[in-house]
Amino acid sequence: MKRTLTLSLSLAFAGILASAADLPKGEALLDKYVEVTGGKAAYNKVHSDKTTGTMEFKAMGLKGKVITYSAEPDKKYSEVVLEGMGKMQEGASNGVAWSLSSMQGPHLKEGDEKAETLLQSKFNSDLNWRDQYKSAETVGVETVEGKECYKVVMTPKTGSPSTRWFDKDSNLLVKMQMTTKSPMGEVQSESIVSDYRKEGDLLVPHKILSKVATMELVMTVESVQYNPEIPKDRFDVPAEVQALIKK
C-alpha cells in the first residue's frame, strides 16, 4: 500500500513538472506579442503618440471624451471629460506623478502609488518590458472570453505583480489584472482587451472593458496618431499640483 501511494505521488508530481515544462516561457510570449502586433522595427519608429476615444460608465449613465498623450522616455498625460462631472486629468513626467479633477482637486502621488504610475508611463513599455520587470513567468492555461490563454505573472522591479493572459492561437493580449495603490488603499482592476485593428504599422486594441473595484467602464479607441505634434506644455505639471510640491 505504501509503495503504491509513493508511486502515485511520484507520477502526479512528474505530471505537474511535465505540464510546467510544456508551457512557453513568459519572456517568449511577451516578445512574440511585440512581433504579432507589428514588430520591433515598427515600435522603434514611434517616439510619441496621441490617442482619442470615449469612456463610458454604464451603471452611472455617464459617457465622455478621452484624450491621451505619451512620449519618450516616460511622459504621459490623459484627460477625461464626463458630462455633469467636469474634467479629470492625470500626468507623469520627470519623476513626478499627479492627478487633478474638478471633484477632488489636485493630488501629488507618492510612494507605491507614484512608483506604479511612473511604471505605467514608460513609453513603448511592451517593447522594453525588461527595463521595468524582473521576471515574467507562465503559470498556466486558462479560458478567457472563450479563448484558451497562457497566464503570465509579471513581477516589476518596484510595485505589485500584475497578470496578463495571451491567446494561445494569436498570442494577442486578451486580459490584464493588477493591484494599484490609491489614496483609498489598494484597488483591484481587471481589463478585457479586444477589437484589434491596424493603426499605422501597429495592431492596436480598440476596446477595453475594465472593472475597477466595484465600477465597470468601457474605453473605445477612435484614433491613434504616431509622432504627432504635441503642445510644448502638454506634460507640464499644473499650477495646482506645483503648489503641493512647494509645500
Asked whether 72 and 123 are in contact (CB, 8 A), the reply is yes
Give me the DSSP letters along 122-184.
-TTTTTTGGGTEEEEEEEEEEEETTEEEEEEEEEESSS--EEEEEETTT--EEEEEEEEEETT
Asked whether 88 and 72 are in contact (CB, 8 A), the reply is no
**Dist. CA 42–CA 27, nearest whole Å:** 20
- Residue ranges of the chain whose pLDDT lies below 70: 1-21, 181-185
What per-residue confidence (pLDDT) applies to 82? 87
What per-residue confidence (pLDDT) applies to 127? 95
What per-residue confidence (pLDDT) applies to 36? 98
What per-residue confidence (pLDDT) applies to 239? 95
**Does residue 54 sit in helix, strand or coil?**
strand
What per-residue confidence (pLDDT) applies to 79? 96
What per-residue confidence (pLDDT) applies to 15? 42
pLDDT single digits (tens) 68-107: 999 999 999 999 998 878 899 999 999 999 999 988 899 9
The domain limits of the chain are 24-246
pTM for this prediction: 0.85
**Dist. CA 178–CA 154, nearest whole Å:** 10
What per-residue confidence (pLDDT) applies to 182? 65
Q: Given 3-state DSSP classes, what are the helix, strand and coil percentages for the chain, each rounded to the nearest 5?
A: 25, 50, 25
pLDDT single digits (tens) 200-232: 999 999 999 999 878 899 999 999 999 999 999
The CATH H-level (homologous superfamily) assignment of domain 24-246 is Lipoprotein localisation LolA/LolB/LppX (2.50.20.10)
